[in-house]
Structure formats: structure tokens, C-alpha cells
Amino acid sequence: MKTAILFNGKIVSADEYNPAIHGSRIYCIDKNCRATLIHVPRTETASAYFKTTGKSPDSRHNEKCSFFRPLTFEESVKKVQEFHEEIFGQQNSVIETVVRLNLNAIDPDYVPKAREQKEESNRETSRKEDIKIKNERTTPQTISSLKSIVKLFTSYEPDVLATILINVKGTKTPLSKIVVSHDIVHDLLWGDEIKNNSSYFVYGTIDKVLRREKVWYINFKPVNNVLFSLVVFNDYFKYFTYSDEQLIGKTVLAWGTLRRNMYQGKNTSEMVIKSNKYIEFIK
């Protein structure tokens, strides 16, 4: 755990914590818990962090706490959104972490320049190490696949994820704002909070697949009466090879371009994708 709440309601990171300044009363950031914590200082081989002692009921995470057990992808997304609002809703001693997003490699239309190919090759080994994050406390510097996003949410603790900003071509967006459920992104799109043709990470469960001559629709199971579809146009059929049986009933994370549409007089939202690499199976 990298973040804690103080007795006065302020939030502090383990790297910034100083008992002489912040006091000795530190607690779990999860409002469902508030277990008493201790601070473990930085060493030559490990960064600073907070933990419970387990020596008394007051210093143990309860079953409703997000640090009690590993979270599912969906649980982690929701908790990261909650923690982000709490951590950055006031002036706190928390350091943001910037992670670069580069998904050029998943685009079948993308042709890398020679220099970019060399740099990509040099980064391959380090990227693989970045994905192996279960026992590490440092976040990856670059994300280049949807698999990495899913791995991020299922491997890191939510307080760490809540401090991450995703850098897309110079624009920095909180991770908690760019990975959302399809009903939420629908409301954002139709509420003019995001623009048509914006790119997002959206997750949902596939309900059915409709394959027409020039376009395929992969419909998500409605949530809050929201109709949302992934769309594959005929130029990209050859890159999207999943069968209906492989898709229906699966929960997936998708990346693509959002757009509004109307179906039988009802507002709907769509995401245009190009290949298998534009989705990642969550479960």
C-alpha cells in the first residue's frame, strides 16, 4: 500500500510520509476499512510503503476493504475511480505517475519508420519485464497493448493506479477517467463531456454478434438500458478473426474510436475497432 489517510483526513504517500510532520496516526485509505497502519521506510532495494501489523483487530483489513484480497478487473476499475476522487479531491502529499500510451503496434494501418522499429526492438525486453509486475512496486513507463492495461488493473493495488496519468500524444488523462464501463462512456459521449471520435478503453460483456456484408456489430449486454456496439468494417474483416462462439458471453476490454448513432429512435454508442488486438478478454 503506497497511500494512507492521516488522522486529520489528509492523504499522504509512503514516499512523502514523515512522522515528525504528519504524525503517527495513519490509516487505510479505503473508507470501508480504516485499519491502523505502520510505515515501512525506503531501503536500497525497496521503496517505502504502508502496511497493517495484523497484531490486533484494528490493524487488519476487513473483508470489505480493497486491500483484503486481489480485486477483479471490474472491482479494481471502480475502486481506482473512487480513490482518484479522494486522493486528488483536496491538497494532498501524493505524487502523480505518468505512463505513456503507445498503441501504434496494434493498428493494421500503421507502418513504423525505420528508427521507430529499432527503438521498439530495444524496448521489447524491458516491456516484457514491465508487464511482470505482480511483485514489483514500480509502474511501467510505457503501455503498448490492451493486455498490459488488464494486467495493470489486476496486478497493482488500487491506490497506486489512482495516481497514474496516461500520456497520449502529450495529453495527460487520469487512468481512472480513460478506462470505463460502456454505460458510463455512453453518458459521457451523449452528454457532450467527450467528443465524437475520441479514443477510450471500454469494457462490457458481449451479448450477440451481427455480421452483415460490409459491417459487423458486436453488441454488448445492455447496462442501464444503454445500447453499445463494437463495429468492424469490411476492410478489416481479415484482421478480426474471432468466431461468434469465442465472443458471445465474454467480458472484454476494447480500445477504439467512439461515435454516436441512432437505432429505432434511441441514442446508441459505437466503438470502431480494426483487429483482434483491439479487444482483450477479461473473463
Residue 174, CA distances (Å) to 10, 54, 200, 260, 277 in order: 20, 33, 12, 24, 23
Distance CA 165, CA 163 (A): 7
pLDDT in tens, 39-96: 999 998 889 999 999 999 999 999 999 999 999 999 999 999 999 988 887 666 677 8
Distance CA 131, CA 117 (A): 20
Q: Is the dihedral of CA 101, 84, 282, 193 positive or negative?
A: negative
124: confidence class by pLDDT, cuts 50, 70, 90: low
Distance CA 8, CA 24 (A): 11
Residue 181, CA distances (Å) to 66, 81, 150, 194 in order: 19, 12, 14, 15
pLDDT at residue 169, as a whole number: 84
Q: Is-contact 248 230, C-beta < 8 A?
A: no
Distance CA 55, CA 37 (A): 11
For the stretch 44-47, contacts whose Cβ atoms lie closer than 8 Å and that sit 24 or more positions apart, written own/partner, are 46/137, 47/2, 47/14, 47/15, 47/137, 47/138
Residue 234, CA distances (Å) to 231, 238, 257, 268 in order: 10, 8, 16, 21
Distance CA 194, CA 213 (A): 31
Q: Has residue 203 got a pLDDT over 60?
A: yes
Q: Has residue 119 got a pLDDT over 70?
A: no
> Residue 166 CB: number of other CB atoms within 10 A?
20
Scan for cell 479531491, then name that residue: 89
pLDDT in tens, 207-242: 999 999 999 999 999 999 999 999 999 999 999 999
Residue 61, CA distances (Å) to 66, 223, 234 in order: 8, 32, 51
**Smallest Cα–Cα separation from 182: which of 209, 154, 222?**
222
Distance CA 20, CA 175 (A): 32
pLDDT at residue 120, as a whole number: 54
